[in-house]
Amino acid sequence: MTVQRLKDRIALITGASRGIGRAVALRFAQEGAQVLLLARNRKALERVDDAIRAVGGKASIIPLELSDGKSIDALGPTLYERFGKLDILVGNAAILGRLSPLTHIPSEHWERVFAVNVTANWRLIRTLDPLLRRSDAGRVIFVTSSVARTDRAYWAPYSVSKAALEALAKTYANETSDSAIKVNLIDPGATATRMRAEAYPGEDQTTLPTPEHVAESFVTLAMTSWTETGQLVEA
């Protein structure tokens, strides 16, 4: 019998309705985790829930808009009442924003990208930290991108927000270094996702790794045996 490496772990995954989030949710469920699926599209979440149950996994859906700070703030108390703890948080959800010169970016576009890519993750840390501390091995994984470190022209909202996310994650790693919580970042690289197609509309996605291909790296970082913190791992 294959050993389930995440058996009975409770895992919350944002952006779980498609792409990398969906693939990670399915893989975690196959590894025995009880998966909490968070995204804004209820119907898409229900399809992922169906797929997980079809392979014998356990899941719950959480339809939530990540720009809604009050809803995020209420998430921790709600999950505490139901589960009492959280073992794994995967902060995967993000939006690309407009690719254009800095001087041409409307303020509302900039603010929207930061609300989802940075502020939502800070709020998730704040509301879920008490639950992660109740786990014997809390694991937090944030999804980043190489553009956070390359200062690519015309990518400012996304690249600057990912740079901020990396600083946020490493700060949290340092603040939890004396606890059982391990906080790390993962860079999936070029992956066949809808966001990638939006950024590179002429690219042949059949030449790229699939979200399912990179899911194994998330399992590794989520395991109780993973002891590093504050690291950036390339899938």
List, by residue number, the catalytic residues: 158
Kindly report the length of the chain: 235
CA distance from start to end of the chain: 27
Per-residue CA distances from 45 to 14, 51, 161, 166, 196 (Å) = 11, 10, 26, 27, 21
- CA angle, 103 then 95 then 59, to 5°: 170
Distance CA 158, CA 152 (A): 10
